[in-house]
A and B are shown apart, each in its own frame.
Chain A
Amino acid sequence: MNWQRWLMIAPALLFFLVFALVPMLVAVYYSGLQWNGISAPTWVGLFNWRHAFANGEAVHAIWLTVELMVLCWIIQTPLSLLLGVFLAGKQKHRAIFGVFYFVPLLFSAVAIGVTWSYLLNPNFGLIDALLKAAHIGSGNQNWIGNPSIALLVVSLIIGWQFIPFHTLLYQSGAKQIPDSLYEAAKIDGASPLNSFFSITLPQLKYTIITSSVLILTGSLTYFDLIYVLTGGGPGNATQVLAMDMYKEAFVNQNIGVGSVLAVVLAVSGVVLSILTLRFTGFSRMESQLEGM
């Protein structure tokens, strides 16, 4: 390899090593320190690890993250699939629907979080006003201040944010299914429900895998929205891993424990990716696509 090519690959490599890969490894080292980020750090070995797991904090955060993952998948996958297939239809009004469906994609997680915190406000929020006008419930429901439903509400809002994206994925997948398959099935006397299960679903297999992988790995990193909406609360009802890590490191200035959680996060990300690669044949799919 000549010097020109080294020169071409060097900038990317440098950026990636210094600001992504090395920090990831440094986090492992930090997890063994007792440090507030300012004074001199002390090496304490596995103390932070034992501390984080013994008091149940890390376990709680991991458990919440898993719950969030499952909730997000259940909320987003069936709806996005149906909506994507719906939009892939050739009827004109569906195209117009599509224009509106994708609008939430234009807003940041912060913008969405702030808006929904107003929509759900128990005193002057729109949802409360609508429910009152329809005489449903007792009014002044504190949606995100109630620990038993806060995580569900957060997952629903995450769904509102991300369903448009996954709908887009499914739409583009469903559009690629050849019409001839449906026509043939119809002539064979298949009902629409039959062709949905015997043609649409199997043909969307790889889209389902891609979308699910993105939802699952994405749920590890939902931070912005939770920060804005609940800040991890009420109590620690929505304190998922990323949120817990942020609070430990940057609020409590406990770099060591924060790093423990960061490492757990990184390992979960890698393990999740490897598992999905193994069990879904995702890598085979990629090599198939390369030939297209």
Chain B
Amino acid sequence: MIPMLANEPALQVVKRTRRQVPTWYNVLFTLLGVLWLIISFYPVLYMLMTSLRSQNGYLVGIPWLPPLHPTFGNYATVIQAGFAHYFLNSVIVSVTSVVLIVGCSVLSAYVIVRTKNKVVRFIFNLFLVGLALPIQAAIIPIYIIITKMGLYDTLIGMILPSVAFGLPLTLLILVNFVRDIPSELYESMGLDGASDFQVMRSLVLPLAMPALISVSIYDFVQAWNNFLFPLVLTQSDSSRVMPMAIVSFQGQYTMNVPVTMAAVMLSALPLILAYIFGRRYLLGGLLAGFGK
């Protein structure tokens, strides 16, 4: 493609010199890199260090150094204050939302790709409009609807709108993916006579698995971190989810920063574990097709 590539030896010389002499821009770049490393990672380190400090240690210790006598006492306090219950609520809301969003989306994506008619095209366009609409713009009527349905302050009340707003992007990504399945595959598998459900199960689902995993991760993170729905749609202790729990801890232990930081660390636990054990998947999922 590029004719200059024929000049192989010259290329190698160039490469070697680059490795030996650090040029000014490489130094500058690395400096910027180190600076950003401190800015982006240090606050996280601060969360961790503070969560291991005793309340006394927090006030007298040097705040930018690790605690002299690390303690897990704050984690114990947080767990005794009902955190396990809030954690479980978050798991229920997030997992149910993901299953519903991804399940509904993959079925619809299949129909949208395989059906050529105006109604389906119109429905797809409706979902695309949904991409541009901010959740905040619909929250007032959602609050009224959920209240009228008797679902205020319940986990289901949070799940229903989360599913609705998770659908458009998930659907778009899956449509793009299912569209890439060559139509010859449908024919060559002799599935022409098969029902849509059979085609779905034996062809689309297995092929779309990587995309399904990636959108599931994306939707899970969105649901896990969602704040507006629980803020507006719940109020009691029994339906409290993780982000609300942090806010209530902050209010309850105003001056006890270590306890709140322990709550913050615990709230991110699933994502921290996912990052340690499956960084590639998690980051791929967070990009959700934008990085294509």
* B-binding residues in A (CB < 8 A): 1-2, 4-5, 8-9, 11-13, 15-16, 18-24, 26-27, 30, 37, 79, 82-83, 86, 89, 93-94, 97, 99-111, 114-119, 124, 126, 129-130, 160, 163-165, 168-169, 172-173, 180-181, 183-184, 186-188, 192-193, 210, 214, 217, 220-221, 223-224, 227-228, 241-242, 245-246, 249-250, 255, 258-259, 262-263, 265-266, 269-270, 272-274, 289-290, 292
Contacts and interface: CB of A to CB of B under 8 A. Distances in A.
A13 B123 contact: yes
Given A94-B33, A108-B227, A12 B40 contact: no
A19 B283 contact: no
Contacts, number: 290
Given A168-B286, A184-B5, A224-B227, A192 B64 contact: no
Contacts of A192: 23, 25
Contacts of A13: 108, 123
A175 to B, nearest CB: 9
A172 B288 CA distance: 12
21 contacts: A1-B115, A9-B111, A11-B107, A12-B127, A16-B130, A20-B164, A20-B165, A23-B145, A30-B141, A101-B36, A115-B47, A116-B43, A163-B40, A168-B286, A188-B4, A192-B25, A242-B134, A255-B140, A265-B136, A269-B133, A269-B137
A100 to B, nearest CB: 4
Contacts of B14: 183, 186-187
B224 interface: yes
Contact of A272 (B103, B132, B197): B132
Contacts of A181: 2
Interface residues of B, number: 103
Contacts of B32: 82-83, 86
B140 A223 contact: no
Nearest to B142: A23
B163 interface: yes
B43 A15 contact: no
B227 A15 contact: no
Q: Which of A12, A160, A289 neighbours the largest number of chain B CB atoms within 10 Å of its CB?
A: A12
Contacts of A20: 130, 133, 138, 161, 164-165, 167-168
Contact of B138 (A89, A262, A274): A262
Contact of B268 (A21, A106, A118, A246): A106
Interface of B: 1-2, 4-5, 7, 10-11, 14, 23, 25, 29-30, 32-33, 36-37, 39-41, 43-44, 46-47, 50, 59, 62-64, 100, 103-105, 107-108, 110-112, 114-115, 117, 119-120, 123, 126-127, 129-145, 160-161, 163-165, 167-168, 171, 176, 179, 195-197, 200, 224-225, 227-228, 231-232, 242-243, 246-247, 250, 257, 260-261, 264, 267-268, 271-272, 275, 279, 283, 286-287, 290-292
Contact of B11 (A8, A117, A183, A214): A183
A100 B40 contact: yes
A78 to B, nearest CB: 11
Contacts of A12: 104-105, 107-108, 127, 167, 171
A16 B225 CA distance: 21
Contact of B63 (A105, A126, A163, A262): A126
Nearest to B112: A9
Nearest to B124: A9
Chain B, interface SS category: helix
A15 B275 CA distance: 31
A187 to B, nearest CB: 5
Contacts of B11: 183, 187
Contact of A99 (B115, B139, B243, B279): B279
Contacts of B134: 217, 220-221, 242, 265-266, 269
A227 B164 CA distance: 23
Contacts of A272: 132
A8 B232 contact: no
